[in-house]
Amino acid sequence: MINPVSQPVVPMQPSAEFYSIQDLALFKSYSRESYRAAFGVEAAAYDPARRRKSWFDSTVDVSGSDNVAVYRIAAQDQSGNGILRQIVMPAQEAAAVNLPGAIQYPPYIVTPTRATRGGSSLNAIYLSLEGDARALMKELGGDNLQQEELASFPASYPSEEPRRSWYFLVQGRPVNVGSLLLGRNAQGVGAPGHWDVSAAEPAWVPDPPGPTGADDTRPPREMPVRDLLPNEKLYTGLMGIPGVVRTDLQKTADEISGKFTPDDRATLRLIYQAITKLPS
């Protein structure tokens, strides 16, 4: 498992004549799947109070609730021309992604056992570690933790088996720890829910699914970009999508294609001025 870290990195200038705004991006963009693959952890559940956000900045100062982060993003002016403008957002928001999609909780795996009772194999789902048993007993307000023992059918545990068949009392009734843990983790380890203790035996009730952001039509949080270089300018392409053009390479392309370049126009202007000053 890796602690998620994302720092701004100024990208190198592409050698192409035209390129995307994404080529100016300061951060890597993630989906829920790529975030999980990169860091080995799930991103937080989607927050419908915020817009989608595929990047995060772990260098911002989140020590104060009023702290902010400042970035530049690609935008358009009132005439539709591409510009860079400044945005300010809370540091807490800058430091976190907000990715659509449902959280995938790791499956609860019950390791098989070689333990036996009366010569027959024990079902591993009824076994648990003592530490887990004590934690669950405290969670449910139970008491009198004991190992399940049958005098006529004693259990035999191999040396490598640390689990036992633990039970405790809840409202005076014995409950098996292993089976309760199996129920609590039926939808994955850590899946949210709560215990219902109104019945004879506690039952785990999963929480209803939360919003995933799949139907959120709001535009996502913009990606911060680096400043333009002297030989770059923004342009608006097809469908109003902004892009970047390298003016030095555009000039070269114009020269090759035979188009008039700004230098050509300047030369013609000088020639015209010189001619008009000649005596008639």
User: Residues 78-125: pLDDT tens digits?
Assistant: 888 889 999 999 999 999 999 999 999 999 999 999 999 888 999 999
Q: What is the largest CA-CA distance in the chain?
A: 130
Residue 257: count other Cβ atoms within 10 Å of its Cβ: 7
Q: Which has the higher per-residue pLDDT, 144 or 255?
A: 144
Residue 118: count other Cβ atoms within 10 Å of its Cβ: 11
Average pLDDT over every residue of 187-207: 94
Taking alpha carbons only, the member of 192, 165, 197 closest to residue 179 is: 165
Compute the mean pLDDT over every residue in the chain, rounded to the nearest whole number. 89
Where is 274: in which H helix or E strand? helix 262-276
Residue pair 237/80 in contact by the 8 Å Cβ criterion: no
Residue 139: count other Cβ atoms within 10 Å of its Cβ: 12
Q: What is the rounded (10 degree) CA torsion for 150, 161, 144, 176?
A: -70
Domain spans of the chain, in order of start = 18-102+212-276, 116-206
CA atoms within 13 A on the CB side of 228: 20
CA pseudo-torsion sign 169, 173, 174, 178 = negative
Grade residue 274 by pLDDT with cuts at 50, 70 and 90: low
Q: Measure the CA–CA gap between 100 and 175, rounded to whole angstroms.
A: 39
